[in-house]
Amino acid sequence: RDLHSFPTRRSSDLIKITGHNKEIKIAEFSKTDDKILATYSFDNNIKIWNFEELFTICNISLSNKTNITAILVYKNHVFYFDI
State mean pLDDT over 39-56. Answer: 90
pLDDT for res 4: 40
Residue 16 near residue 4, CB atoms below 8 Å: yes
Tell me the pLDDT band of 46, cut-offs 50, 70 and 90. very high
The answer to whether residue 28 scores a pLDDT higher than 50 is yes
Which DSSP string do the residues of 46-69 spell out, in sequence order? EEEEETTTTEEEEEEE--TT--EE
Query: How many other CB atoms are found less than 10 A from the CB of residue 20?
Result: 22
Bridge partners for 48 per DSSP: 38, 58
Is a pLDDT exceeding 90 seen at residue 83?
A: no
Q: What is the pLDDT of residues 29-42, one digit of tens each?
A: 998 998 899 999 99
> What pTM value is reported for the model?
0.78
User: How many C-alpha atoms does 42 have within 13 Å on its Cβ side?
Assistant: 7
